[in-house]
Amino acid sequence: MSEEPHEILEYQEFPEPIYISLKSLDKFYADFKKKIKIEPKYNHYKVIKEKITDHPRYNSITNKFKLDLKARHYIGTINLPSYKTINIKAKVGNDVKFLYMFEYVDPKFAEIFEDISKQITPKVGFLKVLINRFLNLTENLLHSSLFKMYRTVELCSNRIKGKILQFKTLKNPYFLKGKIYCVYDDLSSDVIENQIVKLALYKLRFLADEKQQNRIRQLLIEMNIISLKECRLEEISKIKYNRFNNRYKIIHNYCKMIIGRFSFGYESGNHDWFSMLLNSWDIYEEFLRKILEKYLQKLVSEEIKVGKNIENVRSWDKKKIIPDIIIRKNNDILLIADAKYKLKFKSIDRHQAGNYIRNIKKRANIGEINFKEENRNCVLIYPQNEDYKPYYFTKVERDIGDIQEGTIFAHSIDLTQIDNESYIESWVSTIKDYFKL
């Protein structure tokens, strides 16, 4: 029986160390070194790897190595080798509705995340629910019959079927023995829509429990005429859905996540851990871009674009001094902003914003873009919390002289209200009005 999950916040230490077998150490570092802080650090681990059995963290009786873990800026669930589940929550407050941010960033996976979350209990973890949900969808798909398409088949036999390929048949040394090349259209279920589902089933086979493994084996038997092929995410994304294959949309979203370790960082293979993690900083940043573009296009003009870069600008600073958010209309920059997933304002943020303004002004001076003096503003956007409800105002001055380069603002957004569409629209409208966009 699984223990009730532990809960920690981003950047907090895990409740206790974990102990992991030597054969799993490399894989564990590969999967988690960028998502959580691991002690010893990866570089140190590489140095001691050859003599790891002499290290004081190694237990010769259990043949396991001790690791201390600390969260980074990822939220979600990790099931560790010690069979304890850790839920990592957002540092900016328990009431933050991260799922609603995720719906703006990637609605397909937000739907999956929400669907699974509703079924989790202390006794039934994330992984079990995810696999059950996927198997249910696959079983329903098979019961309703698999999608089929006509495909061109080339056959060399004693029987004529379809169109004879005369030139190829005459060149064939077996022609005198009655072997004829033909080509015909065959209605087959061995198409990419079904190959994707089979591949996802195959990748889940080591992660499932015994009961789920029996279901997977049965499904693989039922899909024995479907080829097992590696599919890239790019291939899946190219599928065009219509009234014939539209029922594959939801199950393919699961397949994308399972096959490609998509937004959740899903761990695959024969290991005793998994993670469903969301990069909170990236989601916060992309969420702000999405809502600003959506509502500025509604409130101002459909020509408004919000991104992190500008097309056709070749000479951005080599140090990548580019803000997270650039609001523009055609080639005119109307406002720049930076997503600050922090609990409070720091002086380094102001210096960074000044560099953004100066760098974009350089691009404007060489004629790549238009950055008018009245638009030389940078807004630093922080999550609102109990200690921080800011609206600071400061100026960036030249190093020499007192000619104003631009103006920096700090603003906040209440992430506990982002399920309220009218709040989001009003928040964007405030920015529109203040900066006369």
Give one DSSP letter per residue of 185-199, joined into a string. Answer: EEEES-SHHHHHHHH
Please answer whether residues 376 and 409 qualify as being in contact, where contact means their C-beta atoms are separated by less than 8 angstroms: no
Is 392 in contact with 263 (CB distance < 8 Å)?
no
Please tell me the least confidently modeled range out of 67-81, 309-323, 331-345: 309-323
- What is the residue whose two structure tokens read 């990592």? 88
User: What pLDDT shows up at residue 268?
Assistant: 47
Q: What are the angstrom distances between the C-alpha of 279 and each of 45, 75, 223, 321?
A: 25, 7, 36, 22
* Residue 59 token pair: 């237990």
Q: What is the per-residue DSSP string for 149-205?
A: EEEEEEEEESS--SEE-HHHHHH-TTGGGT-EEEEEEEEES-SHHHHHHHHHHHHHT
Q: pLDDT at position 400, please? A: 42
Interval 383-401: pLDDT, tens: 887 665 655 555 555 444 4
Question: According to the model, what pLDDT value does residue 139 have?
Answer: 92
Percentage of residues in the chain having pLDDT higher than 70: 83
Beta-strand ranges (E) seen in 295-331 are 304-307, 325-329
Reported as a single tens digit per residue, the pLDDT across 327-379 is 988 888 999 999 998 888 788 888 888 888 888 888 788 777 888 888 889 99
Task: Report whether 277 contacts 34 (CB < 8 A).
Answer: no
Smallest CA-to-CA distance from 407 within 433, 377, 375 is with: 377
Neighbours of 400 (CB within 10 A): 6
All residues at 6 or more sequence positions from 291 whose CB lies less than 8 Å from its CB, including other chains: 104, 424, 427, 428
Q: Which of 1, 11, 32, 10 is nearest to 273 (CA)?
A: 32
pLDDT at 86 over 90: no
Average pLDDT over residues 51-59: 92
- DSSP letter (8 states) at residue 283: H
Residues 6 or more apart from 210 whose CB is under 8 A from it?
none
Q: Is residue 267 over pLDDT 50?
A: no
Nearest-angstrom CA–CA distance, 300 and 328: 12
Q: What is the DSSP letter of 13?
A: B
* Structure confidence at residue 417 (pLDDT): 87
The token duo for 136 is 């249910």
What's the pLDDT score for residue 313? 55
All residues at 6 or more sequence positions from 29 whose CB lies less than 8 Å from its CB, including other chains = 38, 42, 45
More confident residue, 313 or 351: 351
Angle, CA of 182, 188 and 191, to the nearest 5°: 115
Lowest mean pLDDT, pick from 187-191, 299-303, 391-395? 391-395
Average pLDDT over residues 393-411: 64
pTM of the model: 0.71
Distance in angstroms (rounded) separating the CA atoms of residues 208 and 129: 10
Ranked by mean pLDDT, the top range of 79-88, 107-116, 150-159 is: 150-159
Question: Mean of the per-residue pLDDT values for the chain?
Answer: 81
- In 3D space, the residue among 239, 262, 264, 234 whose CA is nearest the CA of residue 249 turns out to be 239
pLDDT digits (tens, 9 = 90+) for 114-165: 676 666 665 666 667 778 888 999 999 888 888 887 777 788 887 877 788 8
Beta-carbon count within 10 A of 349 CB:
19
How far is 194 from 251, CA to CA, in rounded Å?
Answer: 10
| Helix/strand/coil (H/E/C) assignment for every residue in 356-420 | HHHHHHHHHHCCCCECCHHHCEEEEEEECECCECCCCEEEEECCCCCCEEEEEEEEEECHHHCCC
The contacts of residue 180 (CB under 8 Å, 6+ apart) are 156, 157, 158, 159, 160, 164, 169
Scored b (16 or more CB within 10 A) or e, 62-99 reads eebbbbebebbbbbbbbbbbeebbbebbbbbbeebebe
pLDDT at 12: 93
Q: State the pLDDT at residue 272.
A: 60
Distance of alpha carbon 134 from alpha carbon 113, whole angstroms: 12
**Are the C-beta atoms of 206 and 216 separated by less than 8 Å?**
no
